[in-house]
Structure 1
Amino acid sequence: MKIAILDAKTLGDDIDLSIFEQFGSVEIYPTTSPAELYERIEDADIIVTNKVVIDKDAMNAARNLKLICVAATGYNNVDVLYAREKGIAVTNVAGYSTESVVQTTFGMLFYLLMHLRYYDEYVKSGRYAESDIFTHLGRPFWEVNGKRWGIIGLGTIGRRVAEVAQSFGAEVVYYSTSGIEREEKYPRFTLEELLKTSDIVSIHAPLNEKTKNLITINELKLMKPHAILLNLGRGGIVNEKDLATALDEGIIGGAGLDVLEREPINPDNPLLSVKNKDRLLITPHIAWTSIEARKRLVSEIVENIRAFLDGEIRNRVDLRL
């Protein structure tokens, strides 16, 4: 087998990819541009891709292609319908990043809620050394205990966030972006009711026609003035221009984003010009990237390849959700 790993840089330089050599020859490319794609996959039996688009033309260019391994849960970068027509198997990986995303969710919350940047700078600036008391109350913060945590998208990650939030004493409610009726142990609210009554709102939903621009200035105005909004789902769910306005006008207390509509961020994104920068935390899509999560991801890709070669996945799309 000839394996082409197209965007290995997204997996990290600290992850050992030699494990793929057990299946045959491996070509590892840190990144792959559209202009480089066809030449790199023309002889490949197996493609491993995170974000590189494998469309109809790419599949036609890869004359030996038998398996596409998506190094992620989402597989919108692969034309799965055409793959089915061509008898090319497609696999993804689910569940590998749950704990990493949950940990990042709470890290973002506490950074914003407890004004950690402010207090760190207060000490390091020398102002604390000049204080006449042992403490400093410049930025009051409140406790998660006894507050309402609203979750938008109660999937695998959303449920785990709910469990941890409850361990802090929060009351958990949720809004279903799919609209599918199912029995859950948490109260299901309308989006309006959730936004109006929650002190913390975290988003863990996919981007689709139901969630695109789900949170605009109209929804932000429903939230409490002290409420914190966290988006660890997908960029495009929160209107970024409207969020910048809400932060500058004090409509909400703060926001943490690990995902953006365009990644890397557009230089003219209005969030980069927010006046109240202490109300906003943006990280570069890192929630999924703990060392353990990336090791699990690579391990699951290896298992998908092994299952394909053993005949468990044969000439069909096998998206493991």
Structure 2
Amino acid sequence: MNIVLLDAITFGETPLECFSELGEVEVFQTTVPEQTQQRIVNAAVIVTNKVVITKEHMQSAKALKLICVAATGTNNVDLNAAKELGIEVKNVAGYSTDSVIQHTLSMLFYLMGHSRYYDETVKSGTYSKSGVFTDVSKPFFEVKGKKWGVIGLGAIGRGVANLAKAFGAELFYYSTSGVNRTEDFQRTTLEKLLSECDIITIHAPLNEKTANLLDYEQLLTCKDGAIVLNLGRGGIINEAAVSRLVDEKDIYFGLDVFEKEPLPLESPLLSVKNSERLYMTPHIAWTSVEAREKLIASVCQNIRTTL
């Protein structure tokens, strides 16, 4: 059985030995669209994180039996074509829940505590020269007593909400699907959540209900000093609106996901004036060592149980 890994760079240094136990393995660190068809032509199994697999690719790979998506989302695979051609598609869910929850708090505290400013103040020697034992020029606040709004109450959103509650925050949630309900937290409308919450975290999938969910007019209603974090999917929050608002209003944003990845050099997010109000990470919330190990183990298990 020939197993082809198309974008192994996303797994970092995670051991891949389990694939060798299942068949002959070809590992490609990256694959551009022009290379895909040639690389999968003899594959029985394709492992892809974000490399797109089209109907034409499947038709050209005569031995193809299984496409393993090394992620939760399967929007990079033509699912209708796979079903038509009798090719199984398997994804992995739940492997990165704890990692994303942890990164949510990391982004929050970085912005809330003005970590960039204080780190640079010490390292630049400004603190050493000040003659004062402390620096209170950038006030920060406690989570306790603040209103925290969660958009998307799946496993990650619920995990974030539980930790926020442990810190003493008052929890509110907006279910983008209308399905997730709980008595543990207060359900509210999107409008009230945006206008009343001090902290807003997004943990929803991208679909017809969430695309461009937070545009300029919606975000403009946020409180002064509010912190808005997107750890769901790029496209849920309008990036042009974010780039405007950090320069127009006292509001802070943390973005780990973007509409197009990697973030284009021409993105307005890269030319904001008040960059201290914007914290961006390159889609890393899911990438803890433990999460990637769980991911690879689950992909291998999908191969074992399917073929």
Question: How far apart are residue 37 of structure 1 and its match?
Answer: 1.1
Q: SS of 1:101's equivalent?
A: helix
Q: For 2:94, what is the secondary structure of its paired residue?
A: coil
Matched, 1:259 2:257: yes
CA distance in 1, matches of 2:59, 2:189: 46
1:84 is matched with: 83
- 1:210-249 matches, cutoff 5 A: 210-249=209-248
Offset of residue 181 of structure 1: 6.0
1:4 and 2:30 are equivalent in the alignment: no
Q: Which residue of 1 aligns with 2:184?
A: 185
After TM superposition, list the pairs within 5 Å mapping 1:7-22 onto structure 2: 7-12=7-12, 14-22=13-21
Q: Secondary structure at the match of 1:90?
A: strand
User: What pairs with 1:266-305 in structure 2 (closer than 5 Å)?
Assistant: 266-305=264-303
- Give, in angstroms, the shift of residue 107 of structure 1: 0.5
Q: Which has the higher contact order (CA 8 A, sep 6+)?
A: 1
Matched, 1:101 2:109: no
The gaps in structure 2 that reach 5 residues or longer are none
Per the TM alignment, residue 131 of structure 1 is displaced from its structure 2 partner at its CA by 2.2
3-state SS of 1:271 partner: helix
Post-superposition offset of 1:15: 1.0
Give 1:184 shift. Answer: 4.1
Counterpart residue type for residue 6 of structure 2: L
The aligned residue for residue 142 of structure 2 is 143
Contact 2:153 2:180 in 1 (8 A): no
1:183 Cα deviation (Å)? 3.7
- In 1, Cα distance between equivalents of 2:27 and 2:170: 47
Unaligned runs of 5+ in 1: 310-321
Separation in structure 2 between the aligned mates of residue 111 and residue 27 of structure 1, nearest angstrom: 40
The amino acid that maps onto 1:2 is N
Normalising by structure 1, what TM-score?
0.94
SS at match of 1:73: coil
Q: CA deviation at 1:253?
A: 2.4
Judge which range, 172-181 or 252-261, deviates more: 172-181
Residue 206 of structure 1 aligns to a residue whose secondary structure is coil
Equivalences, count = 307
Q: Report SS of the residue matched to 1:179.
A: coil
Cα distance between partner residues in 2 of 1:42 and 1:77: 18
TM-score when normalising by structure 2: 0.98
- 1:186-223: CA deviation from partner (whole Å, max 9, x where unpaired): 11110000011100000001111111111111111111
Distance in 1 between the 2:251 and 2:180 partners?
Answer: 32
Q: Deviations over 1:264-308 (max 9, x none)?
A: 111111111110010000100000001110000000001111111
RMSD of aligned Cα (Å): 1.0
Instruction: Give 3-state SS (helix, strand or coil) of 2:186's partner.
Output: coil
Cα deviation, 1:108-143, whole Å, max 9, x if unaligned, reads 000000001101111111111122321111100111
Give the secondary-structure state (helix, strand or coil) at the position aligned to 1:23: coil
Distance between the aligned counterparts of 2:267 and 2:147, measured in 1? 31
Map 1:109-128 → 2, pairs under 5 A: 109-128=108-127
AA aligned opposite 1:292? E
Contact 2:154 2:180 in 1 (8 A): no
Residue 177 of structure 1: how far off its partner (Å)? 0.8
Partner deviation per Cα, 1:6-36 (whole Å, 9 max, x = no partner): 1111111x11112201111000011111211
Identical aligned pairs, as a percentage? 57
For 1:282 and 1:210, locate their aligned partners in 2 and report how far apart those are by CA, in whole Å.
24
The 10-residue stretch of structure 1 (196-205 or 32-41) with the greater mean CA deviation from structure 2: 32-41
Q: Which residue of 1 aligns with 2:50?
A: 51
